[in-house]
Amino acid sequence: MHAPKQPARYAVLGVVCALALSGAARTRSVAAQAREPLLVERGTSISARTPEAAPFAPLGRLARSSKRDVPAGEYLPFYRGNDRKKTLSVRAFRIDTRPVSAAEFATFVRANPNWRRSRIKPLFAEASYLADWGRDTDPDPATLGAPVTSVSWFAAKAYCTSIGFRLPTTVEWERALQVFGEDFVVHASQSTGARSAASLWEWTADFNSIPIAGDASESVTNLFCGAGARANDASDYGAFLRYSLRSSLKADFALKNLGFRCAEDEP
Amino acid sequence: MSTRRWFAPAALSLGLACGVFGYLRPVLGQKHGAHAWHAQAPLPARSLYGLDSEFVTDSRARLEFGALRGHFQILALIFTRCPTVCPMLVHDLKALERAMPADVSAATRFTLVSIDPEHDTPEALGAYRIKHELDEEHWFLLRGEPEAVRDLSALLGFSFSGAGGAAIAHSKLVTVLNRDGEVILQQESAAADPEKIIDAIARAL
C-alpha cells in the first residue's frame, strides 16, 4: 500500500478539508465575539447575539438611563445674527438625565464590532478612541459607571441611533441646561471614575454649526469678522466656553473630557 | 506505479487549492463596479469613500458616494436657494474648470452636494444645472438624506445649521479629493488660489 488506490477519493477529501478549514476560519472571529458575554451595568450578562449584517444590533432599552422632558420654549442663542435680540423656538423633546456611561457604551461596542477600538474606520475616530479602555470591549472596571469619553462624534451618533435615539442639537442641549440648571451639567470630578479633567464636555448633533437667530444667511461671515462682539450675553462665560470648544472640534476627535448623551423627539 | 505515487499528493493539493480559492473568491471579487478603479487596491484609511452614504443625482440616478472613486473630485456643498454665495462659488468653479490644462480637466469631476435636501429635490438640482450650464459629464449634482449630508459636512469640517429655525449658514469651502477619495487640498474659496488647486491635481496625476 505505498500509493493510495483511489486518488479521486483523496482529491474529494482534499476539497472537503479545505472547504471546512476555510469555513472555520471565516466563522472563527464571529465565534470569538459570541463567547464574550455582553456586559450590562448591573453585572448580568446576556447571550443573545444579532447577525453582524445589521448596521446596528438593537440593544433594546437595557441599562438605559432615564430621560427628562424638556417642554417647548424659547432659547436666546449665545450668538446673534444681527443687532437685535431674537430667540429661537425649540420644540418639546426628551433628553438623558446624565451622559452615557462607559458600561452602556461597552454593550454597544460588543454588539457592534465595527465600533470597537480595534475595528473602527480611522475616518470615524482618531487613534485616541477609547484609548483608556483596558481591553477592546471593556472599560477600566473603576470607570464603568462614569460617563464614556474618548468617543468621536460618529461613534456617539451611532450609539444613540442604535437604541432608537439621536444626539441632541446644540440648541436643545443649551435649552435643557436652561430648564434644568446646574443639575444638568456633569463635571467629570463628580463621576465615579477617577478622572481629573476639570469638566466634561458633550457632543451635539450639529456641533460644527453656530445657532444664530437672524434672517441674513450671510451673517456667519459677519459673525467671524465681528470676532466675539456679537454675543447676546457676553457675561455668560460658560456658554462662551462651550461654543468655543464645539467650534474647535472635528467629528473624528476622541477627547478625554468629551462625552455625550442622547435625546429624542417628544413622543 | 510512480505516476500513481505522484498522483495522490497532487490531487490533494489541487483540492486544497480549490478550497482556498473558494474561500478567497468573495474577498477577491468584491464589487465589480462600473469603474475599473473599483477593482484596484482597498480604500485608504482616510478616504472619504469610507462613508457608506448613498446620494441621488439630479437625473434621479442612485449613486453610492464611493462611486466617485477614480477621478479627482472638486467637492463643494451648496443649496439652490442660496442667494449670493453659492452662485459665486459655482461661477468660481467654472472659471477653475476653464483654467485647467486638458489632462487635469479630463481627470477631474466637480461634485456639488446640497445641504438643503428638503428643498433641493432632483428636479430643483436639474433646474440648477440648466441655469448654471453645468455639463453632464463633468458635474455631479447630488442630493442625500439629511444624515448623509451631515456626515459628509462633518468630515469636511463644513459648518451649517438647519435645525431650530436658524438660517442655513454656509461658506465657499472647496475640497479636492484624489482618485481614492483622500483630501489633498481644502481652500476657503475656489477663487482664492485656483492655480494651487490645478497644481495639486497635476502633481498627483
Using CA atoms, how far apart are residues B157 and A230, in angstroms rounded to an integer?
Answer: 23
**Contact yes or no for A109/A116 (Cβ under 8 A):** yes
Counting DSSP H helices and E strands in chain B, the numbers are 6, 7
Residue A253: which pLDDT band, with cuts at 50, 70 and 90? very high
Structure confidence at residue B2 (pLDDT): 54
Structure confidence at residue A211 (pLDDT): 63
How many CB atoms within 10 Å of residue A255?
Answer: 17
Give the nearest partner residue to B23 out of A22, A154, A205, using CB atoms.
A22
Contact B22 A22 (CB under 8 A): yes
Give the nearest partner residue to A215 out of B18, B158, B167, using CB atoms.
B167
**Contact yes or no for A150/A102 (Cβ under 8 A):** no
Nearest CA in chain B to A24: B23
Contacts of B4 in chain A (CB under 8 A): 3-4, 7
CA distance B103 to chain A (A): 30
Using CA atoms, how far apart are residues A231 and A223, in angstroms rounded to an integer?
Answer: 9
Structure confidence at residue A49 (pLDDT): 34
Nearest partner of A137 among A53, A47, A36, judged by Cα: A36
Most confident of A58-72, A110-124, A204-218, B144-158: A110-124
> Which tens digits make up the pLDDT trace of A123-178?
999 999 999 999 999 999 999 999 999 999 999 999 999 999 999 999 999 999 99
> Which tens digits make up the pLDDT trace of B165-174?
334 555 688 9
Residue A188: which pLDDT band, with cuts at 50, 70 and 90? low
Structure confidence at residue B34 (pLDDT): 42
CA distance B100 to chain A (A): 29
Structure confidence at residue B16 (pLDDT): 58
Nearest CA in chain B to A246: B159
> Which tens digits make up the pLDDT trace of B67-97?
999 999 999 998 888 877 788 899 999 999 9
Q: What is the mean pLDDT of residues A179-196?
A: 65
Q: Which of B159, B172, B183 to mutate to test the interface with A (most CBs of A within 10 A)?
A: B159
Q: Please, what is the average pLDDT of chain A?
A: 73
Residue B100 DSSP label: S
Contact A123 B51 (CB under 8 A): yes
> Which tens digits make up the pLDDT trace of B28-79?
444 443 444 555 688 998 999 999 899 999 999 999 999 999 999 999 998 8
Nearest CA in chain A to B84: A218
Residue A19: which pLDDT band, with cuts at 50, 70 and 90? very low
Structure confidence at residue B23 (pLDDT): 54
How many CB atoms within 10 Å of residue B188?
Answer: 11
Which run of H or E residues covers position A12? helix A7-35
Residue B7: which pLDDT band, with cuts at 50, 70 and 90? low
User: In DSSP terms, which residues pair with A201 in a beta bridge?
Assistant: A258
End-to-end CA distance of chain A: 78
Q: Lowest mean pLDDT of A223-227, B140-144, B189-193, name the range.
A: A223-227
Using CA atoms, how far apart are residues B196 and B91, in angstroms rounded to an integer?
Answer: 18
**Contact yes or no for B20/A22 (Cβ under 8 A):** yes
Which run of H or E residues covers position A171? helix A170-180
Q: Is the dihedral of CA A178, A183, A184, A189 positive or negative?
A: positive
Three cell numbers, residue B17: 487549492
Backbone angles phi, psi at A205, to 5 degrees: -60, -40
Give the nearest partner residue to B19 out of A15, A123, A214, using CB atoms.
A15
Q: Please, what is the average pLDDT of chain B?
A: 83
Structure confidence at residue B3 (pLDDT): 55
Structure confidence at residue A199 (pLDDT): 76
Give the nearest partner residue to A122 out of B1, B7, B45, using CB atoms.
B45
Q: Which of B6, B119, B150 to mutate to test the interface with A (most CBs of A within 10 A)?
A: B150
Contacts of A218 in chain B (CB under 8 A): 83-85
Q: Does the ipTM surpass 0.90? A: no
Using CA atoms, how far apart are residues A60 and A51, in angstroms rounded to an integer?
Answer: 15
Q: What is the mean pLDDT of residues A223-238?
A: 60
Percentage of chain A modeled with pLDDT above 90: 44
pLDDT at A198 over 60: no
Please tell me the pTM assigned to this model.
0.71
Three cell numbers, residue A149: 469619553
Contact A220 B7 (CB under 8 A): no
pLDDT at A215 over 60: no
Percentage of chain A modeled with pLDDT above 70: 61
> Which tens digits make up the pLDDT trace of A50-103?
333 334 444 444 445 689 999 999 988 777 655 566 788 899 999 999 999 999
Structure confidence at residue B173 (pLDDT): 86
